[in-house]
Amino acid sequence: MKYSFTAAILLGLAMAVPAGAATFNATDKGGIAGRYESNAYISKSPAEAGKRKGNVAAAAFGMHESSGVLGDFAAFCLDLATTLKTHSSYKTTDTPFSNSFALGGGKDRVQAVFDANYATLDLHDRAQGAALQLSLWEVIYDGTDFDLTRGNFRAKGTRSYARTTDSLAKTFLANAKTYTGPKMWNLTFLESTGKPQSQNLVTASAVSAVPLPAGGMLLLTGLGGWAGFSATRRRKAA
């Protein structure tokens, strides 16, 4: 199913979730693009990523939070040292992440990836969701390299659309590296407080209610509702 935006939701997109809000529970509903949404192969990763190698899931994942803090939202992984649990507790934070690899300057690079690419992203496209996820891991774990084929973190897409994923990730990273425009997205960083620990996540909401480009109308923002997509749950390797 496609995501729909009402006038009320569009007005609400200018709001960011306050950091330090009470702990809340969130449920992983699976990849937005479907059961076999995407895969990636990590050939090299630093200690901060738990030296993770091999196949991992790389996608935009639909999450559900019932208390009203976030509701239904799309999230991306910022933490390869653990797995995404089906049910876990989280808190919002301005200083991600005290429980694992701290982002430091990587927070600005994550912002650039979203600002340069997210408005035209179709989260229902498997290759696009995977490419954005790979781009986020690259800027977190490989500093200012912005290249998935070299450096301390290396990864590539798998499955039939691997070439498309890799090409998109290359474009997304190039866009982020040279981005000098305004802040387009409020990022909400979610730090896992559950035991066992789940992955730390990020979700995005539009800075303003300016109408999105046609492609952007298909994306799911952090505070925009997702409408009844059904994806078979599975435990994620990433």
pLDDT digits (tens, 9 = 90+) for 167-196: 999 999 999 999 999 999 999 999 999 999
Q: Give the strand pairing for 61-64 and 72-77.
A: antiparallel
**Measured between alpha carbons, how far is residue 7 from residues 3, 4, 14, 215, 224 in Å?**
13, 10, 12, 18, 11
In which domain, by residue range, is 149 found?
Answer: 7-218
Q: Is 78 among the domain residues?
A: yes
* Structure confidence at residue 1 (pLDDT): 27
Please indicate, yes or no, if residue 238 is contained in any of the structural domains. no
Q: Determine contact, residues 202/189, Cβ cutoff 8 Å.
A: yes
Give tens-digit pLDDT for 122-165.
999 999 999 999 999 999 999 999 999 999 999 999 988 899 99
Q: Is residue 229 part of a domain?
A: no
- Does residue 223 lie in a domain region? no
How high is the pLDDT of residue 67?
85
> Which tokens is 40 given?
């990636």
What percent of the chain is modeled with pLDDT above 70? 77
Placement of tokens 């729909």 in the chain = 4
Give Cα separations from 79 to 143, 153, 187 (angstroms): 15, 13, 16
Q: Residue 237 domain-assigned?
A: no
Give the model's pLDDT for residue 34.
Answer: 72
What band does 102 get if pLDDT is binned at 50, 70 and 90?
Answer: confident
Split at pLDDT 50, 70, 90, the class of 16 is low
Residue 92 — very low, low, confident or very high, per pLDDT cuts 50/70/90? very high
- CA atoms of 220 and 97, how far apart (whole Å): 24
In percent, how much of the chain has pLDDT > 90?
Answer: 57
Q: How many domains does the chain have?
A: 1
Beta bridge partners of 50: none
Tell me, what's the pLDDT at 177?
Answer: 97
Within-domain flag for 141: yes
Given a cut of 90, is residue 90 above it in pLDDT? yes
pLDDT tens for each residue of 21-57: 678 999 999 889 876 567 899 999 998 888 889 999 8
Q: Is the pLDDT of residue 226 over 60?
A: no
Residue 15 lies in a domain: yes
Q: Is the pTM of this model over 0.85?
A: no
Amino acid (1-letter code) at residue 64: H
Domain-embedded: residue 109: yes
Contact between 206 and 102 under an 8 Å Cβ cutoff? The reply is: no
